[in-house]
Amino acid sequence: MAAVVKKFFIASMFMWMAPLAILHAFNHNLLPGSTNLTPYSATLLSGFLAVISVNIVIAFYIYMAMREPSDKHEPDPKFLAEAKASVSQPTDKAEVSSESLKKKE
């Protein structure tokens, strides 16, 4: 469980840091060639690259989640027992609704 939280925290940090670093680099002309762009073009390009960077981080996080072994996570036996018991219990509402449908016909 701690590894999952750690991966989520790292991905969240990159989702904040990557776009801010890109925007900062464009606003302070830290990237080569960004001085030749008009302010309008620099704003559009930096915003576009910031959005792309967030999508790349999300895709990488999904990829890492899909690579985790499925047998590593076992459901809680108590939860499974309670879930099976609740599914097998008959409900009175279902019987009442079916009776009301027969009366309407």
| Ordered per-residue pLDDT tens for the chain, 105 residues | 677 889 899 999 999 999 999 999 988 888 888 888 888 998 999 999 999 999 999 999 999 988 887 776 677 788 888 888 888 887 665 555 555 555 655
- Spacing of C-alpha 52 from chain mean position: 16
CA separation, residue 5 to residues 10, 18, 64, 92, 103 (Å): 9, 20, 13, 42, 54
- Spacing of C-alpha 75 from chain mean position: 21
What does pTM read for this prediction?
Answer: 0.62
